[in-house]
Amino acid sequence: MNPNKIYSLLGLATKAGKVVSGEFATEKSVKSGTAWLVLVSEEASDNTKKLFNDKCKFYEVPIYCFGTKDMLGHAIGKAMRSSLAITDEGFAKAIVKLMEQDKS
């Protein structure tokens, strides 16, 4: 897995308006069915991780723990973020593909 490629894709998705960030916006996106992928920071609290794991499992949205709060925020041009959702299928699939390269 190349984290720089993932951060680059996050930046492109943000410029395209296909990223929502922050706990409330991400949760709302998952519940409304607009989220194709959720990324939660590795530094996020256990409660935050559990909340999004449960929500994503129920609504069948892929979820990954990835990066630091600072790096996630930096990638989308904002302050620190512990969670974000990708609302575009193409960007989501590309990021999942990069994430899965590491596992195989």
Q: What is the mean pLDDT of residues 76-83?
A: 95
pLDDT at site 1: 66
Rounded to two decimals, the pTM is: 0.94
Residues 46 and 36: their CA atoms lie apart, in Å, by 22
The residue type found at 27 is E
Q: The CATH number of the domain where 71 resides is what? A: 3.30.1330.30
pLDDT at site 2: 81
3-state helix, strand, coil in the chain (%, to 5): 55, 15, 30
How many Cβ atoms sit within 10 Å of the Cβ of residue 62? 17
User: Number of structural domains, the chain?
Assistant: 1
pLDDT at site 3: 87
State the residue range of the domain holding 66.
Answer: 3-103
* Res. 102: pLDDT tops 80: no
How many Cβ atoms sit within 10 Å of the Cβ of residue 8? 13
Phi, psi of 77 (to 5 degrees): 75, 30
